[in-house]
Amino acid sequence: MLTVTDEVRDALASGRPVVALESTIISHGMPYPQNVEMARTVEGIVRDGGAVPATIAVLHGRPTIGLSPDDLELLASDESVMKVSIRDLPYVVSRGLHGATTVASTMRLAALAGIGVFVTGGLGGVHRGAATSYDVSADLTELSTTSVAVVCAGVKSILDIGLTLEKLETLGVPVLGYRTDEFPSFFSRSSGFPAPLRVDSPAEVAALMAAKWDLGLAGGVVVANPIPAESEIPADEIGGIIDQALADMDALGIRGKDATPYLLGRIVEITSGASLTANIALVEANARLGAAIAVEHAAR
């Protein structure tokens, strides 16, 4: 049921490095046209790093691994594109709809295609107030079962970072700080929480992936790569802005799958675009690291 481009299929068949990229970040994570520019740039960074990019989405009901420039433009600009997590996949497939895949559904489709490394911006997690809202992203449960390494910049403090790390521990997911002892919080290099484990090279990440899966431990690996220092928004600066965005969301009664896209958009508004610049910079840095990990993974 998958459509895989010839380039991605050939690379996988001959054991060359491939990096999966998600599409919710394009359709529901950033405004147009910066979203499509980011998507193109990131594919270029992966290529420059010696790997084949495979952006993943559902197009006309077909899970599609590897997208054309026109596909990227459609995902970036078409209002009908649904945000598709695991539970939504059968709906868009059976109805022939377009869907932008989250971390959870991109991981699953990447694994089905045989791709082991995936680059994104930030993971979903346990939302603040989850004790009453029950809002815990399906990204976490997917990480517990699907064997793909996810390169991200940590999680935003729109989430409860402490509870997210606890949940990942319960689910048996290794969380690696990349060249850091502190878990990063997306816009900021710090979060106040230690990184559960630390690695210092792409080869170390690839070795850990191999060890995990050779042991028969199915499931993902989180590689938390702090935003480059020159692009970071310090935690004390972004903290109040996130609180404001959360208060605005509550006032509007927005919840469920609309929560994360609303908060991302509202933070861009409040910061007059500064958060978008940071967001793009961190995704680009993750693409550089992800390509290097994919090269090491393929070499094993």
* Residues contributing to the site for Mn ion (CB under 5 A): 135
- Which span (21-29, 67-75, 176-184, 236-244) binds ligand PSU, by CB under 6 A? 21-29
Helix (H) or strand (E) holding 98: none
The interface partner of residue 206, options being ligand PSU, Mn ion, none and the CB cut-off 5 to 8 Å by kind, is none
Q: Which residue, 149 or 206, is less far from ligand PSU as judged by CB?
A: 149
Spatial CA neighbour of 264 closest among 101, 24, 20, 58? 24
The answer to whether 275 contacts ligand PSU (rule: CB under 6 A) is: no
Nearer to Mn ion, 135 or 142 (CB): 135
Tokens of 38: 């980011």
> Is the CB of 264 or the CB of 295 nearer to ligand PSU?
264
Would residue 156 show up in a list of annotated catalytic residues for this protein?
A: yes
Alpha helices per DSSP H over the chain: 6-13, 24-27, 34-48, 69-77, 89-95, 103-113, 130-133, 138-145, 161-170, 202-214, 235-252, 259-270, 274-299
| 199: three-class secondary structure by DSSP | strand
Q: Residue 284 in contact with residue 41, Cβ under 8 Å?
A: yes
Residue tagged active-site, from 156, 167, 212, 257: 156
Question: 264: helix, coil or strand?
Answer: helix
Q: Which does 24 bind (CB under 5 to 8 A by kind): Mn ion, ligand PSU, none?
A: ligand PSU
Contact between 22 and ligand PSU per CB under 6 A: yes
Alpha-carbon gap, residue 252 to 277, rounded angstroms: 26
Residue from the set 88, 139, 182, 232 that interacts with ligand PSU by CB under 6 A: 139
Region of 72-80, 194-202, 232-240, 257-265 interacting with ligand PSU (CB under 6 A): 257-265
For position 160 contacting ligand PSU by CB under 6 A, the verdict is no
